[in-house]
Structure 1
């Protein structure tokens, strides 16, 4: 039979492994009587664990939310996953770096030597490339997340690229972290349309707006919607290319931000954009297919410049032995 301390740890592990346990099921797993289970549950409660009980034949025990934060029981793979997560946590969240580091130090002190060596080997063998990011206060993220959970509208001032600020009202749907920034995918009440908002540009107002009934995801694909919205937000030049190639072939060659519409089995329309007409002219060549394009007035001259440049290069090209 397990000692009392070992049995308490085993009981805690069982309670954490699934939502509900009956008294007899716990007794069988621990090899003790149901009376001993009740006694051990009382000991866990005295240590600060919130163990809730439901009476009756169908009753049982489960861990409830407590005021304290007792330690979790993790196996080796779970502990390693948490440690890796802490090392890569806090991207774009103000103040989380120090919090994650303190938690990581506490965790690493408790890791067995072999597991600690595995973590050290992984850290030594990996490199994190720097990425542009916009920091967001954690209280802003949690306030938005709470509004998502409660299905409450949010009111906020929103700063545009030109520093102009407008008061907005939205029904928050999901927080998304991509390309070093936090975005809120939400239904824009004022414009009756789905929008993505950069969270670092939001200044929340209180109180929240009224409760709302959740809507279907935009275009039936939240991830695709956010990728397209984020990817096209910085486009200074936009155009519509009629491409003589199947839509599936072009979709495989373009980033998610580019919307491709099938016309027929051999033709499609690609909604494209870039920072300038010159860049867009170069980018269109990467489609590797014939096309015509509707765009700004300076796009045609840009295409001619690119064509002339490549023609000169072709005329002057030599050969190199393989």
Structure 2
């Protein structure tokens, strides 16, 4: 029979692994008697772990949430996953960067050397960004309203107070967004979380609607593309560039690049507007042949006029 301390750790690990356990199965896993399991459960309770038990021939044990966070037990892979997640959290823009750093240091200090060396081999460096930070209490309030399916009232930086049915809290391009049904505008909207100031209390519960298309990720991407729900850009053009395909493909995003020769390629690319598409293609710094459509040719002509005006000498 394992020593009491080792047996308690094994019991705790099992209780954390699933919602509930039959007492007989726990005894079998630990190779002890059901009576020993009951005694070990009592010892864990004395250490602050809230363990519920049901009586009877098929008595079960369950580790429940408590008023305080008790010490946790992780296996090697869980500990590594936690450390990596905390490193990523330091660049999340969720307003928890400092707390994530402190939590990572705490986890690292108690790791055995074999795990610490693996974590130290992966260093995530946060690059300074102008992306607005979102207060963690705002994210918690939005997430709670989404989970409870309660109407949310909030002040928005760019306009009047809003009343929405919150459906999803998402991240895109290092920003947090709330996807919601706007009750005053009778339409779906996406709101930047850093511009939201929630009002308390929340409103009545609502029956969730289905996001257009049924896929929130596709819905959000379509909104940022300005697409009509088909998943494609509203403006899409084709050009030939005097550059190698390998050089263009690295910066073409979701565009299609076809090699036509050693220093020549075809590029099919989309954007939310024709001027935006023309400007995006111009950044490749190469001679451009527009295949189509005519709207893209017109956009290049307009861009050329603007550039010529910007380059002309000003008044003396």
Q: TM-score, normalised by structure 2?
A: 0.76
Question: Partner residue of 1:100?
Answer: 100
Compared with structure 1, are the counterparts of its residues 232 and 293 closer, same or farther at alpha carbon in structure 2 (3 Å cutoff)? Answer: same
CA contact (8 A) 1:281 1:303 kept: no
Compared with structure 1, are the counterparts of its residues 293 and 254 closer, same or farther at alpha carbon in structure 2 (3 Å cutoff)? Answer: farther
Compared with structure 1, are the counterparts of its residues 198 and 255 closer, same or farther at alpha carbon in structure 2 (3 Å cutoff)? Answer: farther
Question: Partner residue of 2:140?
Answer: 142
Aligned length: 276
Compared with structure 1, are the counterparts of its residues 169 and 287 closer, same or farther at alpha carbon in structure 2 (3 Å cutoff)? Answer: farther
Question: Partner residue of 2:247?
Answer: none
**What's the offset of the Cα at 1:290?**
3.8
1:81 paired to 2:75 = no
Tell me which moved more, 150-159 or 214-223: 214-223
CA contact (8 A) 2:151 2:204 kept: yes
Extract unaligned runs of 5+ from structure 2: 228-232, 240-251, 256-269, 307-316
Alignment equivalent of 2:161, drawn from 139, 157, 167: 167
Extract unaligned runs of 5+ from structure 1: 245-252, 257-269, 307-322
2:13 and 2:234 mapped to 1: Cα distance? 59
Question: Partner residue of 1:5?
Answer: 5
CA contact (8 A) 1:132 1:180 kept: no
Question: Partner residue of 2:312?
Answer: none
**What's the offset of the Cα at 1:93?**
2.2
1:152 and 1:75 mapped to 2: Cα distance? 38
**What's the offset of the Cα at 1:128?**
4.8
Compared with structure 1, are the counterparts of its residues 14 and 108 closer, same or farther at alpha carbon in structure 2 (3 Å cutoff)? Answer: same
RMSD: 3.5
Question: Partner residue of 2:118?
Answer: 118
Tell me which moved more, 79-88 or 8-17: 79-88
Question: Partner residue of 2:15?
Answer: 15
Compared with structure 1, are the counterparts of its residues 288 and 213 closer, same or farther at alpha carbon in structure 2 (3 Å cutoff)? Answer: farther
Kindly provide the CA deviation profile for residues 156-188 of structure 1, in whole angstroms up to 9, marking residues without a partner as x: 11122xxxx211111111111221211011111
Classify the secondary structure of the residue corresponding to 1:28. helix
CA contact (8 A) 1:156 1:169 kept: yes
CA contact (8 A) 2:275 2:299 kept: no
**What's the offset of the Cα at 1:277?**
7.4
Question: Partner residue of 1:47?
Answer: 47
Question: Partner residue of 2:198?
Answer: 204
Compared with structure 1, are the counterparts of its residues 169 and 8 closer, same or farther at alpha carbon in structure 2 (3 Å cutoff)? Answer: same
CA contact (8 A) 1:170 1:189 kept: yes
Question: Partner residue of 2:279?
Answer: 279
CA contact (8 A) 1:152 1:172 kept: yes
Compared with structure 1, are the counterparts of its residues 280 and 11 closer, same or farther at alpha carbon in structure 2 (3 Å cutoff)? Answer: closer
Compared with structure 1, are the counterparts of its residues 100 and 288 closer, same or farther at alpha carbon in structure 2 (3 Å cutoff)? Answer: farther
Kindly provide the CA deviation profile for residues 202-237 of structure 1, in whole angstroms up to 9, marking residues without a partner as x: 11112212111111122222101112323559xxxx
CA contact (8 A) 1:277 1:298 kept: no
1:37 and 1:288 mapped to 2: Cα distance? 77
2:199 and 2:125 mapped to 1: Cα distance? 40
Question: Partner residue of 1:291?
Answer: 292
2:274 and 2:175 mapped to 1: Cα distance? 20
Q: TM-score, normalised by structure 1?
A: 0.74
Question: Partner residue of 1:156?
Answer: 154
CA contact (8 A) 2:162 2:184 kept: yes
